[in-house]
Chain A
């Protein structure tokens, strides 16, 4: 369509009006970037957009930004609250600052990049996609992860990867502790390729070979009376 950049000042607008504007631009196949100004840490911005759209948000956002989206590209020049890009299906969300709790919760596909730190329960119940954190993550990150890759360039809080089913966690720093049934595994060549590509795309300079890999020990898949202690911890 060759559209020009559209700007939208969020000041004085309801969240419903902001999202209606974005959905309308996406539905009409707006090619150029849409710029949101004065987000003022507001919750639920750019939620539920299921047609491709490039969005640049100039400032800090609140909870659930970019949630329930499919095929969007969102760049946020600030911090984000809880539940950033929750359940993203496809597309890419990049946050320049720090994220609150549960960033990338139930991520299904696409890529979420948090250049700063992410709070507790980052990547909780991930079901696919790639989540790259340039800084550190909080406690219980990747809790009950089922698929996808969580890449942590800094440190992790307590119980990293607790009760994860599948998926891979890559950690460059140290974890306060690993969660129940989260175990260290050898980094394969395929892992190094995946890491190099993801870090490169995220604009993060880090040696892919310097990461530890954490996966499921799969001992929680079936109940065993010999593993009562693990179950006691898991439940």
Chain B
């Protein structure tokens, strides 16, 4: 099992809600569902107003690369380097040179700096990951405000335990797309091969990563988040409860047998989702009506 959680504020203009502290509170109450790694993807601000930023994680205990090495590895396309827990972030100089795409920049960085793994690129989304329990990220996320976000507590059942295999996964190479997933995608290799044949590169060997990549592709093709998740749910095989997040909101999908839990609660102020009810009770109190995402069901909520 793993623990997943999500929150979205529903009041118009409420992009300064304490989503970091709220999701942290929820994640702490789900800690028993997985202690191998933890992570958050938090959305703040508006896409048009924010510049593009890249985040990268390093193997546990590895030293930060020299700033000059990062700048050289990115052919000068990264600037404003800042250390973060377990890695660093940097601003992406825009516009990118003609013919250059985000995935080209990511590939160059990762091949020139062995061990560096890009964990996210986004204008409004920031991803924070760590191995071990969620406490390790408390300081990093508790002060972050925004409109929505997702979280993950991992109990590893396959693939390595390191920051790169922690969730939420970025839907690389699509900026501002991420997913938190509980379950196993049993047609993962087939889907991954299909995407690799199209030129997509993966950061990990974890089956959950495929979900965000497929959603990102559908969003780029013009689907909205709810439509992308609905279409994808029919393509995935295995057990899954997942929450996808993009700048416009969040969406969920659940497999037909419903072997992985996913509950939600809606109030005038927010929508909260989690694997177990105590995470929701921490946000909405004891009397709110908690409901279950039904087998095969998909749902989407947009920010106001």
Contacts and interface: CB of A to CB of B under 8 A. Distances in A.
Interface of A: 40-43, 59-60, 62, 78-79, 81-82, 98, 100-101, 119-120, 138-140, 157-158
B295 A41 contact: no
A82 B286 contact: no
Contact of B278 (A62, A82, A101, A119): A62
B276 A120 contact: no
Interface residues of B, number: 13
Contacts of B286: 59-60, 78
A19 B295 CA distance: 33
Contacts of B295: 120, 138-139, 157-158
Contact of B258 (A40, A81, A120): A120
A101 B278 CA distance: 16
A120 B293 CA distance: 11
B173 interface: no
A42 to B, nearest CB: 8
A139 B296 CA distance: 11
Contacts of A78: 286
Contacts of A120: 257-258, 295
A62 B276 contact: yes
B290 A82 contact: no
A213 to B, nearest CB: 25
A118 B257 CA distance: 15
B281 A138 contact: no
A119 B277 contact: no
Interface in B255-304: 257-258, 261, 276-278, 281, 286, 290, 292, 294-295
A81 B292 CA distance: 11
Best-buried of B276, B277, B278, B294 by chain A (most CB within 10 Å): B277
22 contacts: A41-B277, A41-B278, A41-B281, A42-B278, A60-B277, A62-B277, A62-B278, A78-B286, A79-B290, A81-B261, A81-B276, A82-B261, A98-B290, A100-B261, A100-B292, A101-B258, A120-B257, A120-B295, A138-B258, A138-B292, A139-B295, A157-B294
A172 to B, nearest CB: 20
| 10 nearest A-B residue pairs (beta carbon) | A41-B278, A41-B277, A120-B258, A139-B295, A119-B292, A40-B278, A60-B277, A120-B295, A41-B281, A79-B277
A43 B257 CA distance: 22
A119 B292 CA distance: 8
A62 B29 CA distance: 12
A211 to B, nearest CB: 24
Contact of B294 (A79, A81, A138): A138
Nearest to A139: B295
A101 B261 contact: yes
Contacts of A81: 261, 276-277
Nearest to B291: A98
A173 to B, nearest CB: 16
A59 B286 CA distance: 8
B88 to A, nearest CB: 38
Contacts of B32: 43
A157 B296 CA distance: 12
Contacts of B292: 100, 119, 138
Contacts of B277: 41, 60, 62, 79, 81
Given A119-B292, A138-B295, A41 B276 contact: yes
Contacts of A41: 276-278, 281
B278 A139 contact: no
Contacts of A62: 276-278
A125 to B, nearest CB: 16
A166 to B, nearest CB: 24
B253 to A, nearest CB: 16
Interface string B245-260: 0000000000001100
Contacts of A59: 286
Contacts of B257: 120, 139-140
A74 B281 CA distance: 23
A160 B256 CA distance: 15
Nearest to A61: B277
B167 to A, nearest CB: 22
Nearest to B292: A119
A60 B281 contact: yes
A54 B286 CA distance: 24
A94 to B, nearest CB: 19
B72 to A, nearest CB: 52
Nearest to B295: A139
Contacts of A140: 257
B239 to A, nearest CB: 12
A98 B265 CA distance: 14
A78 B278 CA distance: 12
A62 B277 CA distance: 8
